[in-house]
């Protein structure tokens, strides 16, 4: 078997909604982490989504879904985006793509798991392959300050409680970059 890594590519789409700006910053951090591994990233603000963005989503190797957690689930604007994307269900256009999720709330729990569960069930209906960020977390490994500080594994969780208005914790951004790198590597591993 002869093969070089350069044959392997990955395009990651990151459709996100951001109310106060936190989720947008984490989307950028994830994209940075993916790009550093050689992937191509398309960040898509679902409030301004265009036909070209939908085409990017359909072509992507991986889609990472990002939304604040509002009242225990995804933002309503994001629910509308998911429902529109659900129009691709019957033809399974997104099947076999890699999927993952990221979400932000004020609190450490903030019922963010509810939003991530909702995203993972949606992804399963679409036939996608789900991956979390896979960092055990700083409370267990203090040598990694701020990494996965809230303790979430189904997807990336960020919190705004201890930050100045609109700011994201540095550890959440670093967790995002690692998540992007992980998805890029998984995606390349699958791209043959």
Q: Which is nearer to a second copy, 118 or 177 (CB)?
A: 118
Minimum CB separation of residue 103 from a second copy in Å reads 10
Q: Which is nearer to a second copy, 56 or 69 (CB)?
A: 69
Q: Which is nearer to a second copy, 25 or 81 (CB)?
A: 81
Q: Which is nearer to a second copy, 51 or 90 (CB)?
A: 90
Minimum CB separation of residue 123 from a second copy in Å reads 9
The residues that touch a second copy, with contacts defined as CB under 8 A, are 1-5, 7, 70-76, 79-80, 82-83, 86, 89-90, 92, 95-96, 105-114, 117-118, 120-122, 124-125, 127, 129-132, 134, 136-137, 139-140, 149-155, 157, 159, 161, 186, 189-190, 192
Minimum CB separation of residue 175 from a second copy in Å reads 13
Q: 173: which 2 tokens?
A: 């951004």
The whole-angstrom separation of Cα 103 and Cα 112 is 7
Q: Which is nearer to a second copy, 135 or 177 (CB)?
A: 135
The whole-angstrom separation of Cα 67 and Cα 107 is 15
Q: What angle do CA 85, 10, 23 make, to 5 degrees?
A: 55
| Helices 170-189 & 22-35 angle (0-180, nearest 10) | 40
How many CA atoms does the CB half-sphere of 111 hold within 13 Å?
9
The whole-angstrom separation of Cα 73 and Cα 96 is 25
């Amino acid at each position: 078997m002869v093969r070089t890594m350069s044959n392997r590519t990955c395009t990651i789409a990151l459709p996100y909604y951001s109310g106060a700006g936190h989720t947008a910053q984490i989307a950028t951090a994830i994209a940075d982490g993916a790009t550093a591994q050689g992937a191509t990233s398309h960040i898509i603000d679902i409030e301004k989504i265009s036909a070209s963005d939908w085409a990017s989503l359909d072509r992507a190797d991986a889609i990472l879904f990002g939304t604040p957690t509002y009242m225990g689930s995804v933002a309503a604007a994001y629910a509308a985006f998911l429902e529109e994307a659900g129009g691709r269900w019957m033809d399974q256009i997104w099947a076999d793509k890699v999927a993952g999720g990221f979400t932000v709330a004020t609190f450490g729990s903030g019922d963010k798991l509810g939003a991530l569960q909702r995203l993972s069930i949606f992804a399963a209906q679409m036939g996608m392959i789900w991956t979390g960020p896979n960092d055990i977390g700083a409370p267990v490994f203090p040598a990694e300050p701020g990494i996965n500080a809230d303790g979430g594994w189904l997807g990336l969780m960020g919190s705004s409680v201890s930050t100045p208005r609109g700011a994201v914790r540095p550890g959440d951004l670093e967790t995002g970059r690692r998540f992007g790198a992980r998805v890029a590597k998984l995606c390349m591993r699958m791209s043959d």
